Amino acid sequence: MAGTCASCGHPQEERYCQRCGEERLHPHQLTVWYFVTRILPAEIFDLDGKIWRTLRLLLCRPGFLAVEYAAGRRRPYVKPLRVLLTAIIAYAILMPSGTTFTLQIPGIPIKFNVAPARLQQGQSVEGTLYRLDRFDILRRMYEKKMGPASSATDEITRRFSGMLGTVATQLSFTSVLLFTLVLYACFRRHRPLMLEHAVFSMHYFSFVLISTLMELAVFSAAMALQGFRLALPFLFIFSAWQLAYLGVAIRRFYFAGTRQSVAWPAAMVMALLLYMLNTFFITAVQFLAAAIAIWRL
């Protein structure tokens, strides 16, 4: 049946538009039953589908998806922004409150978050502020507005925790933006388009969130079996994996065509610096989220 494409207005006689590729859907394809029985099972159980293909490449081939996107090969994979949104939502839902992984630098009285820290369920306002800020800046902000943090009522604690969690999730994109700007400053000669750095950043941040969820699952299982004796080596392995992942991704995306003897050392040095910088960004965003939550009380 002839008609016009709903997306571009081009005459469309076949199922797919010859100009933009838009599919013409029949009314029965727009029902919930069709989505539940046909589309959803196909996406979930098709191991060669977009979702699983993208996830497999994201975890196992660092930087590959960014290379594919920059080369224009985008249709076989889930879009970077959708991957990031899915990772953020999954992390917010599945990460138990109060569990986080931090990086302690000797001589510096602050722990840097490797991934966005989740709020500890039932923790007092005073305890939360101390966990996010060892310099007591947030505590002074709170006490100037609300009085002693140690005297916060249950209602104030509930409101503060709720707002902090909401703002922290919203500000997750700030870390991605900051990381993008640093990548552009460092590698604009290799990749002059800002969008390419944004794609790399979104994929890397998605990997950090997903791998942290995997780390938590393994850590919890190891703790249940033999406690810290078995769990600590896994923490080291996952941290090394995240750092090595960034190095390989930088090598593949930014140093393609560069001599191996130069590319690998440069990529690993940049990975270490960017890894540390990213933990700083995440920690700073958590601090900002707490400051906004205090201001909104």
Q: What do you get for the CA distance between the two ends of the chain, in Å? A: 59
| Alpha carbons 41 and 9: distance in angstroms, whole number | 32
- Torsions phi, psi of 150, nearest 5? -70, -15
pLDDT in tens, 236-282: 888 889 889 999 999 999 998 888 888 899 999 999 999 888 888 87
Task: State the 10-residue block means of pLDDT for the chain, 297 residues long.
Answer: 72 76 72 71 62 92 96 91 87 64 56 58 77 83 88 85 74 84 94 95 93 82 71 78 94 89 91 87 82 87
Residue 130, domain member (yes or no) = yes
**β-strand 11-12 against 3-4: which pairing, if any?**
antiparallel
| Residue range of the domain that includes 113 | 46-297
What pLDDT score was predicted for residue 71? 93
pLDDT in tens, 3-36: 787 777 778 777 777 777 777 777 777 677 776 6
Residue 112, domain member (yes or no) = yes
Residue 4, domain member (yes or no) = no
Residue 19, domain member (yes or no) = no
Residue 144, domain member (yes or no) = yes
Residue 24, domain member (yes or no) = no
Residue from 116, 229, 227 nearest 167 by CA: 116
How many structural domains compose the chain? 1
pTM of the model: 0.76
